[in-house]
Amino acid sequence: SQTIHQWPATLVQPVGSPLSLECTVEGTSNPNLYWYRQAAGRGLQLLFYSVGIGQISSEVPQNLSASRPQDRQFILSSKKLLLSDSGFYLCAWSVTGRTNYGYTFGSGTRLTVV
């Protein structure tokens, strides 16, 4: 069965520090991968998505970046965090080429920038 792992669960980082959040998927090949951010009490905002290794599309200009070094690994990074980067970050995957399937989400990372 397919599983998705996301870590860490919580993170407190000072302003200006770097960030690296990792997401891995097991049990499937060539998934579509996504990073979402959820502000408190709000819906989800798509940040990045990837349809293959090295293929990253950005939805929102910001100081975050994403990389997909391996087929089932998706990394969210920042060189210097801002206070506004605080939020709940969720990784998700979906089946490539299948438009009528739901997403599977990871358990999320609660990031607090202080």
Partner 1 sequence: SQQGEEDPQALSIQEGENATMNCSYKTSINNLQWYRQNSGRGLVHLILIRSNEREKHSGRLRVTLDTSKKSSSLLITASRAADTASYFCATTGGGSNYKLTFGKGTLLTVNP
- Nearer CB in complex with partner 1: 43/54: 43
Does residue 43 bind partner 1 (CB under 8 A)?
Answer: yes
- Nearer CB in complex with partner 1: 38/65: 38
How close are the terminal C-alpha atoms of the chain, in Å?
38
For partner 1, the binding residues in 79-98 under the rule CB under 8 A are 88, 90, 92, 94
Looking at 61, 69, 83, 100, which residue binds partner 1 (CB under 8 A)?
100
Does residue 61 bind partner 1 (CB under 8 A)?
Answer: no
Query: What 3-state class would DSSP assign to 3?
Result: strand
Does residue 29 bind partner 1 (CB under 8 A)?
Answer: no
Burial class (CB in 10 A: 0-12, 13-18, 19+), 72: buried
Q: How far apart are alpha carbons 8 and 20 in whole angstroms?
A: 9
